[in-house]
């Protein structure tokens, strides 16, 4: 007996030591990653300083204030040099990341790309434009971390197709931006590189998962960025940070998420300060080079005629999806934009998106958690879970029976536990689930066609949440998630800011039934006076140019106020 007890005691001690060593190893890897980042920042700061010793900074503000279309014109005619523009943005990006922690890494090879574009005979559409890219968009020699320790070991062996095309068009990728751990969050925090803050208010989140992009561009440290969107990850940071962002039809710029689970088609798209910048980026990417490098991308060049058209549009609109009521200011934005569009000669038609609660609790959730969240949990193996993600991770870990009981006890509409029990329990059930998505998509398109709509105007989640709150309100993303399930192109345009009157009205907000989730939303968005307020613009699949044209119309009318 004593020998057995000694053996048991020894085994327990060995297990404790093993776990302790494992944690130490994880901490060491994270510290090394942070050190590498910090050293990269210092090198870049030194390079900027050396450049400034040669070239004075009297043009800095003028360069940073130029819209993308004007900047490309100045670079192409030679009145500005790509080198001056690059170092101006590098200098500004260093400043913005000190305030917001938005950068994961500078790309030192930007200097090589600078030399490369000057050797080209033809100047591409993005000649000399510094471009920032989201953490996980592959760049040769750099990590795609997704905020995970397991991704810190293997740098990319080659550029992703997207980066190759950007470079061929003369762009200079210069920085990789921070993301939430595993990308499955619309906050922007991970245990390796920390929390990214909103440049307008350090108490607020920049949104996610393209939150580093949102903060960098909104802070003025980048003029054009590439994000990705699997549930709102381009549109939510654009809403929170007052930017324009486009989620195309996923296959228009096809890109595979480098994670062991890919629940929805992952769309990549541009983020910038104005709609013309998004259009130029799409035009540059949808080129012969893209179609040759990735034959699975449909060879459909950008249709300039559709984007430039001024034909009046037939616009469907709604200010609530019947699932998660948004704050008063976001609904106000839709109403004001609707009135402005009507006054400008467009035809407005009220619509009601069908069965959004069903989409959220069945279609979206079963897509993400078909296996009860096991594949998602696997990405955290040998990792520290970010505190912002712990509620979701712990929910997934619960036994199925416990989840069912909690789902019965809690309000079914927005309970995260419902999400975790909506699993597909057989292959047949999974096939049926895919079929149900197609059925819903067909019904939505049929309603669209019946009403003879060109585009749809609707709300987007906002204004910016206080940091930490996105993890408590996964269900609040129904406004964006709907168009991931449908795989429609959707973009966000800032049209207003939060007023004192909005803040007063928020005090009366009760949401669905003044339950804990409604009260949490109220806390998340309070204290937002002066922060951006946006709307969402949607078109049918493959109609990115029409979506952008509508976004441009909304932008023009909002600026004319």
Active site residues: 134, 209, 233
Question: Which residues of 141-208 form beta strands (DSSP E)?
Answer: 172-177, 189-190, 194-195
Known binder of ligand: residue 220?
no
Helices (H) and strands (E) in the chain, counts: 23, 13
Give the residue among 274, 224, 229 at the shortest CA–CA distance from 248: 229
Task: Determine the Cα–Cα distance for residues 227 and 208; give it in Å rounded to an integer.
Answer: 10
138 touches 230 (CB < 8 A): no
Task: Determine the Cα–Cα distance for residues 236 and 477; give it in Å rounded to an integer.
Answer: 9
Residue whose tokens read 């762009």: 171
Residue 324's region, left for phi above 0, alpha for psi from -120 to 50, else beta, is beta
DSSP 208: S
User: Interior CA angle at 557 toward 547 and 211, to 5°?
Assistant: 55
Give the residue among 170, 147, 159, 292 at the shortest CA–CA distance from 224: 170
Task: Determine the Cα–Cα distance for residues 102 and 196; give it in Å rounded to an integer.
Answer: 5
Known binder of ligand: residue 233?
yes
Q: What are phi and psi of 339, to 5 degrees?
A: -65, -40
Burial 227-261 (b: 16+ CB within 10 A, else e): bbbbbbbbbbbbbbbbbbbbbbbbebbbbebebeb
Known binder of ligand: residue 238?
no
Known binder of ligand: residue 221?
no
225 touches 134 (CB < 8 A): yes
Q: Which residues are annotated as a binding site for substrate?
A: 183, 209, 230-233
Residues of the binding site:
183, 209, 230-233
């Amino acid at each position: 007996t004593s020998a057995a007890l000694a053996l048991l005691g020894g085994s327990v001690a060995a297990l404790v030591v093993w776990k302790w060593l494992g944690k130490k190893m994880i901490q060491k890897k994270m510290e090394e990653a942070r050190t590498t980042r910090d050293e990269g920042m210092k090198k870049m700061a030194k390079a900027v300083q050396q450049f400034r010793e040669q070239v004075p900074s009297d043009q800095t503000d003028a360069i940073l204030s130029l819209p993308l279309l004007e900047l490309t014109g100045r670079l192409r005619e030679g009145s500005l040099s790509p080198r001056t523009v690059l170092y101006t943005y590098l200098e500004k990006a260093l400043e913005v990341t000190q305030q917001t922690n938005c950068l994961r890494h500078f790309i030192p090879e930007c200097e090589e790309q600078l030399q490369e574009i000057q050797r080209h005979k033809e100047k591409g559409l993005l000649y000399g434009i510094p471009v920032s890219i989201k953490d996980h968009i592959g760049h040769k020699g750099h990590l795609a971390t997704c905020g995970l320790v397991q991704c810190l070991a293997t740098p990319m062996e080659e550029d992703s197709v997207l980066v190759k095309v950007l470079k061929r068009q003369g762009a200079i990728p210069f920085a990789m931006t921070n993301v939430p751990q595993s990308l499955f969050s619309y906050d922007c925090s991970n245990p390796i590189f920390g929390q990214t803050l909103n440049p307008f208010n350090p108490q607020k989140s920049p949104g996610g998962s393209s939150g580093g992009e949102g903060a960098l561009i909104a802070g003025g440290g980048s003029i054009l960025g590439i994000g990705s969107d699997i549930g709102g990850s381009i549109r939510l940071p654009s809403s929170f940070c007052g930017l324009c962002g486009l989620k195309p039809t996923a296959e228009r710029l096809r890109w595979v998420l480098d994670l062991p689970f890919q629940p929805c088609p992952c769309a990549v798209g541009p983020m910038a300060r104005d709609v013309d910048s998004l259009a130029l980026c799409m035009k540059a990417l949808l080129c012969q080079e893209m179609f040759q490098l990735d034959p699975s991308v449909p060879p459909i060049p950008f249709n300039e005629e559709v984007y430039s058209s001024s034909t009046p549009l037939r616009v469907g609109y709604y200010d609530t999806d019947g699932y998660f009521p948004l704050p008063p200011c976001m609904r106000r934005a839709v109403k004001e934009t609707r009135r402005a569009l009507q006054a400008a000669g467009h035809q407005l038609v009220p619509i009601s998106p069908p069965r959004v609660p069903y989409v959220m609790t069945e279609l979206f959730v079963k897509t993400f958690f078909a296996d009860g969240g096991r594949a998602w949990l696997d990405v955290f193996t040998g990792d520290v879970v970010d505190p912002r993600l712990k509620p979701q991770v712990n929910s997934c870990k619960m036994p199925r029976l416990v989840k069912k009981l909690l789902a019965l006890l809690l309000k079914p509409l927005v309970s995260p536990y419902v999400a975790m029990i909506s699993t597909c329990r057989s292959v047949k059930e999974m096939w049926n689930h895919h079929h149900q998505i197609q059925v819903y998509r067909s019904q939505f398109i049929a309603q669209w066609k019946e009403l003879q709509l060109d585009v749809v105007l609707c709300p987007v989640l906002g204004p910016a949440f206080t940091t930490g709150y996105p993890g408590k309100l996964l269900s609040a993303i129904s406004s964006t998630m709907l168009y991931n399930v449908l795989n429609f192109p959707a973009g966000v345009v800032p049209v207003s800011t939060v007023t004192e009157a909005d803040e007063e009205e928020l005090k009366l907000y009760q949401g669905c039934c003044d339950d804990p989730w409604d009260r949490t939303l109220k806390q998340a968005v309070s204290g937002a006076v002066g922060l951006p307020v946006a709307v969402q613009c949607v078109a049918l699949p493959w109609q990115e140019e029409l979506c952008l044209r509508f976004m441009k119309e909304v932008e023009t009318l909002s600026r004319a106020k």
